Structure formats: structure tokens, C-alpha cells
């Protein structure tokens, strides 16, 4: 017989309120919230509609959560991870009446289903694995008690993500150039996490400290996470934001107007290679050419030590129509062939440092990456 013991028996659902939401960052509504206790549901801020409309997508089934992740209603690696944890909770509720074995079998099916929603951000699989481990280690014979433990764990993960991002901000604030400029690509902001963001966390902390700096934001074709989300959230927080086309990044770095680049990550391999939004690699190359430091900010949940290098990271290929046009307008011949990789891999040698919640990895190497997991 296998011995089972809860890895953290101090986590109890009774200690959480019925509604658990991301802490407020500036004027933004919470990215992710659980409402209604044990009979509750997951609420996602629908990021496909921002910045024009602030609407909530309610997820009552595992299919709702899968679709919310696939459609990018919730997106950004850490936010996808937390949403997937709640997806596991929702899917597992269907087998709550079952005894332990039946409950765990359904849980595996739910986790495997959610894993198929998007391939690149490792936080998704990380969250499913963690929830599965917690369920297997929970010393309960019945599905209902294991399920309550899972809901509590998802709440813990939500709070941990906000705390990790806050720490990233505290570790990284010193790299924000006083009176200078910083360039970012895509949205690794509060909207991409539970709160504060990863790349933007040092900016939020520096801004709170009253420091003056300008943030240059790449608009990030094809889905415009830079203009729709990053420019929106940083401007709403009162920062000095300048939006530019992606193709303006190299000339900006050459001009000297930005003294640092900070981006997020979807998956970081054991050697420090970084997968992030398509176009990140081009920015890293330009930064290297012009001797501008290139920083990656990410929590440890974004590292995948099972992959020796970035070559093994699965890259999501999205629909051709996102490139042929967008947001209702056709901007290319309707049948033109397209490539639409959603991410690219920046080799570790182009990354000056990785800012994590436990400190700064510098220089970036297999050894320095391993050290943050010691
Ligand atoms: O396709 P998206 O919008 O999910 O891509 C998001 C990014 O590439 C982010 O930079 C990354 O997930 C880090 S989020 C803190």
C-alpha cells in the first residue's frame, strides 16, 4: 500500500473567503477571480476585448476554461497556469461523489484535456502537475475532501503568483534606468499574471518609488498584446508610455533612448534559452548589436528543466487569418500563404540576466539556472 501524506496539510479551504481575486493593480479589474466558494466559478477578464471593453468571461465547465485559454481571453504564462489550476478544480467537481480512485482517474482526464489548450507556456503543465500531485498526496478516501483540498491549492497558487511577481519587481527595480527608457515586447504585465506582471513588475515598483522613466512598448503583431494590453495597463497606472511598431525596435535601441530591454517568458529551458512572444528574438539581437542589456523576468514556474535547450520547446502555430488581417479587417490577399508562429526562442547567450522571485540569474548558464532550484 502506498503511503499518502498531504505535502502541505496547513492549507485548508476554511481559511479562504468565498471570493478569491487578484489584488488590484492600478485601475485594472482582476485578471482572474474565483467567486462563490464551493459552488463557485472562475471569472476571467476577457483580454480579447481590451482595451475597448472590460468584460468578464464566466467559466463553469472545464470546456469554458479550455476555450478561455485557447481564445486568449486569459493569456500570459503565469495567468494561464493559475487559470488551468482552477480548470482542474472545475473539471474535478464532476467526480466529487466518487471514491478516491474514481476521483483521481477523472482528475487525470481533466488535466490531460486542459494541457491541450495551448502548447508553449510551461506554466499550464506545471499547474496541472502540481494539482495532480496534491490530489494524489491528499490523505482522504473520498473525492469530496480531495476536491476541497484542490480548491484551496488553486487559491494558494493565485496568491503565490501575485507574491512571486511582486518579488520579481523588488529584485528588478534597480535595473530601471532613472530618467531613461526601457523597451518591452508583448504583454508580460499585470494582465499576463495574477498581479504586477513579470517584465512590468520592476516598472510598477520603480513607479511606486516615484522614479521617472519612459516605457517603449512594441505593439506586437499579430494580436497586438503590446498596444492593446501593455500600453493600456501601464498608461492606466500613470506611467510615461510610448507605443511603437515592432519594426521600430532596432532603431530605438540604436538611438540610445532605451538603456534596457525587459521581456517575459513562456518557457525557459535548463540552459537558459527563453521562449517568448514572436519578435522577442529580433529585439534581443538588436539589443546585443547596440550593447543594450536584455533582461528576462519570470517566476520559477516558467522554467522547464526537463528540456536541455530551447530547441525542444514546442512553438504554437496559430491561424493564418491572424496574419492576413485582424480585428475585422483583411490586410492581405485572402488566400495568401502565411507563417504564424506565436513564439520564438532567444538563446541564453543573448540574455543579460533572468529576474526571478528568488533573485537574479546572471550570467545565464545551465549552472546558474540550476542554482535557483537548489
Ligand atoms: O500569446 P500570449 O499573449 O499568451 O503571449 C504572452 C507572452 O509571450 C508573454 O510575454 C509571456 O507569457 C510572459 S507573461 C508574464
Q: What per-residue confidence (pLDDT) applies to 3?
A: 41
158 plus 175 within the same structural domain: no
Based on the residue annotation, tell me whether 266 is a catalytic residue of this protein: yes
Has residue 104 been placed in a domain?
Answer: yes
pTM of the shown model: 0.96
- If you average pLDDT over every residue of the chain, what do you get? 96
278 plus 182 within the same structural domain: yes
276 plus 135 within the same structural domain: no
Q: Point out the domain boundary residue: 166, 198, 216.
A: 166
Has residue 4 been placed in a domain?
Answer: no
Question: Given ligand 1 and candidates 81, 265, 345, which is best to mutate, with the most ligand atoms within 8 Å of its CB?
Answer: 265
Has residue 305 been placed in a domain?
Answer: yes
162 plus 199 within the same structural domain: no
Which of 64, 218, 246, 266 is an active site residue?
266
Q: What is the pLDDT of residues 296-314, one digit of tens each?
A: 999 999 999 999 999 999 9
215 plus 102 within the same structural domain: no
Q: How far is the CA of 9 from the centre of ligand 1 (A)?
A: 33
What average pLDDT does this structure show over 228-251? 98
Q: What is the pLDDT of residues 83-142, one digit of tens each?
A: 999 999 999 999 999 999 999 999 999 999 999 999 999 999 999 999 999 999 998 999
| Cβ neighbours of residue 345 closer than 8 Å, sequence gap 6 or more | 273, 274, 275, 281, 310, 311, 313, 315
pLDDT cut 90: percent of the chain above it: 93
**Does residue 225 have its Cβ closer than 6 Å to ligand 1?**
yes
220 plus 126 within the same structural domain: no
**Does residue 76 have its Cβ closer than 6 Å to ligand 1?**
yes
CATH number at residue 118: 1.20.120.420
| Cβ neighbours of residue 28 closer than 8 Å, sequence gap 6 or more | 45, 190, 191, 233, 236
121 CA: nearest ligand 1 atom: 12
Q: Point out the domain boundary residue: 135, 166, 197.
A: 166
Q: How far is the CA of 343 from the centre of ligand 1 (A)?
A: 9
- The vertex-72 CA angle with 33 and 319, nearest 5°, equals 165
- How is residue 264 written as a grid cell? 517575459
Q: What per-residue confidence (pLDDT) applies to 4?
A: 47
27 plus 142 within the same structural domain: yes
Q: What per-residue confidence (pLDDT) applies to 28?
A: 82
Which residue is closest in CA terms to ligand 1's atom 6? 76
Q: Based on C-alpha coordinates, what's the Rg of the chain?
A: 20
Distance CA 374, CA 368 (A): 10
Has residue 7 been placed in a domain?
Answer: no
Q: At what angle do helices 62-70 and 100-115 cross, to 10 degrees?
A: 20
Distance CA 276, CA 265 (A): 5
Has residue 1 been placed in a domain?
Answer: no
Distance CA 229, CA 141 (A): 45
199 CA: nearest ligand 1 atom: 15
342 CA: nearest ligand 1 atom: 1
Has residue 190 been placed in a domain?
Answer: yes
Q: What is the pLDDT of residues 321-355, one digit of tens each?
A: 999 998 889 999 999 999 999 999 999 999 999 99
189 plus 265 within the same structural domain: yes
Counted domains in the chain: 2
Has residue 268 been placed in a domain?
Answer: yes
203 plus 61 within the same structural domain: no
Q: Point out the domain boundary residue: 143, 166, 189.
A: 166
362 plus 221 within the same structural domain: yes
Has residue 124 been placed in a domain?
Answer: yes
228 plus 359 within the same structural domain: yes
Domain limits for position 189: 169-371
Q: How far is the CA of 142 from the centre of ligand 1 (A)?
A: 38
190 plus 257 within the same structural domain: yes
CATH number at residue 292: 3.40.50.10470
pLDDT tier for residue 14 given thresholds of 50, 70 and 90: very high
Report in angstroms the alpha-carbon separations of 93 from 106, 247, 292.
9, 47, 50
Question: Given ligand 1 and candidates 123, 192, 317, which is best to mutate, with the most ligand atoms within 8 Å of its CB?
Answer: 192
What average pLDDT does this structure show over 71-80? 98
Residue 366's CB: how many other CB atoms inside 10 A?
Answer: 15
Give the distance from CA 88 to its chain's centroid.
Answer: 17
Report in angstroms the alpha-carbon separations of 212 from 181, 208, 239, 240, 241.
9, 10, 9, 8, 11
Q: What per-residue confidence (pLDDT) applies to 324?
A: 97
Long-range contacts of 233-236 (CB under 8 A, 24+ apart): 233/25, 233/26, 233/28, 233/187, 233/189, 233/190, 233/191, 233/197, 233/200, 234/189, 234/200, 234/203, 236/26, 236/27, 236/28
Q: What is the pLDDT of residues 111-120, one digit of tens each?
A: 999 999 999 9
Amino acid at each position: 500500500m502506498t503511503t499518502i501524506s498531504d505535502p502541505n496539510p496547513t492549507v485548508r479551504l476554511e481559511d479562504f473567503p468565498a471570493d478569491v481575486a487578484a489584488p488590484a493593480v492600478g485601475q485594472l479589474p482582476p485578471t482572474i477571480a474565483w467567486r462563490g466558494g464551493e459552488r463557485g466559478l472562475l471569472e476571467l477578464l476577457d483580454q480579447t476585448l481590451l482595451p475597448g471593453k472590460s468584460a468578464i468571461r464566466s467559466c463553469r465547465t472545464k470546456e469554458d476554461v479550455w476555450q478561455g485559454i485557447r481564445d486568449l481571453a486569459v493569456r500570459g504564462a503565469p495567468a494561464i497556469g493559475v487559470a488551468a489550476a482552477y480548470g482542474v478544480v472545475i473539471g474535478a467537481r464532476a467526480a466529487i461523489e466518487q471514491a478516491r480512485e474514481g476521483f483521481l482517474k477523472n482528475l487525470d482526464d481533466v488535466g490531460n484535456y486542459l494541457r491541450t489548450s495551448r502548447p508553449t507556456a510551461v506554466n499550464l503543465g506545471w499547474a496541472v502537475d502540481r494539482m495532480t500531485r496534491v490530489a494524489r498526496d491528499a490523505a482522504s478516501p473520498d473525492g469530496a475532501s480531495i476536491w476541497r483540498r484542490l480548491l484551496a491549492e488553486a487559491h494558494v497558487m493565485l496568491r503565490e503568483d501575485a507574491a512571486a511577481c511582486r518579488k520579481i519587481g523588488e529584485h528588478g527595480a534597480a535595473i530601471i534606468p532613472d530618467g531613461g527608457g526601457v523597451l518591452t515586447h508583448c504583454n508580460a504585465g499585470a494582465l499576463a499574471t495574477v498581479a504586477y506582471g513579470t517584465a512590468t513588475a520592476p516598472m510598477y515598483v520603480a513607479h511606486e518609488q516615484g522614479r521617472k522613466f519612459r516605457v517603449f512598448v512594441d505593439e506586437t503583431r499579430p494580436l497586438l498584446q503590446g498596444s492593446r494590453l501593455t500600453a493600456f495597463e501601464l498608461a492606466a497606472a500613470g506611467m510615461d508610455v510610448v507605443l511603437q511598431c515592432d519594426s521600430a525596435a532596432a532603431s530605438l535601441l540604436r538611438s540610445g533612448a532605451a538603456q534596457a530591454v525587459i521581456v517575459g517568458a513562456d518557457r525557459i529551458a535548463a540552459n537558459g534559452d527563453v521562449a517568448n512572444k514572436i519578435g522577442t528574438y529580433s529585439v534581443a539581437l538588436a539589443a546585443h548589436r547596440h550593447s543594450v542589456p536584455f533582461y528576462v523576468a519570470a517566476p520559477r514556474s516558467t522554467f522547464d528543466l526537463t528540456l536541455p535547450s530551447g530547441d525542444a520547446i514546442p512553438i504554437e502555430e496559430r491561424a493564418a487569418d491572424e496574419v492576413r488581417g485582424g480585428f475585422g479587417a483583411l490586410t492581405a490577399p485572402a488566400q495568401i500563404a502565411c507563417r504564424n508562429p506565436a513564439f520564438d526562442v532567444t538563446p541564453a547567450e543573448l540574455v543579460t540576466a533572468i529576474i526571478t522571485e528568488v533573485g537574479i540569474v546572471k550570467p545565464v548558464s545551465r549552472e546558474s539556472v540550476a542554482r535557483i532550484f537548489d
